[in-house]
Amino acid sequence: MAEDGSVQSQNIWPISNFYFSVDIGDQKDLAFQEINGLDAESKVIEYRHGNSPQFSTIKMPGMFSSGNVTLKKGVFVKDNRFWTWFNSIKMNTIKRETVVIKLLDEAGAPTMTWTLNNAFPTKISGVDLKSEGGEVAVESLEIAHEGIVIANE
């Protein structure tokens, strides 16, 4: 039976990227404007043994690594969560948190989840101030983590 458009099929349309939520530690459903850096890669190891009849290397998968994740949000009155977490860094001592990013469907149910293990802040960027601007004040937090786990709900 052909699709008549009366019900949106989950199999035809991709998921939109604008409806998401973030949990950092015990702080649930935090509001963010933008999230970047949800990626992982495997380093390539090239190897050739001395008596190989081929004059080229073979490639093997090596160590996995993940880039830092950047979270951007609007500045609200008396909301210093980013700065408080960042200022807790003391000579290799930091409270690491689990960060859970959920992509939500139209009903608000998670369809895809990224879990960042042992995350901690590495960089915080305050707002850009401009006397002639009319934009919303946005700050960003860059966090490092020790691995990303992706789950489809």
Cα separation, 147 vs 38, in Å, equals 10
3-state secondary structure of 1: coil
* Tens digit of pLDDT at every position of the chain (153 positions): 555 656 656 667 788 899 999 999 999 999 899 999 999 999 999 999 888 888 899 999 999 999 999 999 999 999 888 888 888 888 778 889 999 999 998 889 999 999 999 999 999 998 888 899 888 999 999 999 999 999 997
pLDDT at 2: 57
Give me the domains of the chain, ranges plus CATH numbers.
20-152 (2.30.110.20)
The model carries a pTM of: 0.82
φ and ψ at 129, to 5 degrees?
Answer: -100, 135
